[in-house]
Amino acid sequence: MEEMLADARAASAAGGGKVEKNVSELAQLPEVRAKLAEMITAHWSRWVDQPIPMLGGHTPMQAVQDADEREVVESLVMHAERHGRLMDPPTDEAVFRRLRERLELDPEH
């Protein structure tokens, strides 16, 4: 993946930013935006059951059972929400509402 990004950057630099322009245009297509939203939704749906190193190898679903680890999970979700708002397109807030519901986290954060 990193190699692909490096190649894209090199091509963009060589082409005077042409690749970046093409990627930006591509990202505006409704079907690309819909696929991206689908991928992000799937990621957060799976995330709750994946071991996370920051949680000592526990999954978020396991970690929310412990008060200290629950705070870390809350922090990770808040960070993801902030980052999601900055994406283009922004992550649908419903993704994080469902994530909070599954983890039984406070919906007001």
Question: pLDDT tens-digit profile of 49-89?
Answer: 999 999 999 999 999 999 999 999 999 999 999 999 998 88
In a domain, 62, yes or no: yes
In a domain, 22, yes or no: no
In a domain, 99, yes or no: yes
Q: Are 33 and 42 in contact (CB under 8 A)?
A: no
| pLDDT of 25 | 82
Residue 106 has pLDDT above 80, yes or no: yes
In a domain, 20, yes or no: no
| pLDDT of 13 | 64
In a domain, 11, yes or no: no
| pLDDT of 1 | 39
Name the domain count of the chain: 1
Q: Are 98 and 104 in contact (CB under 8 A)?
A: no
| pLDDT of 42 | 97
In a domain, 98, yes or no: yes
User: Which domain, by its residues, includes 61?
Assistant: 30-103
In a domain, 72, yes or no: yes
In a domain, 40, yes or no: yes
Residue 22 has pLDDT above 80, yes or no: no
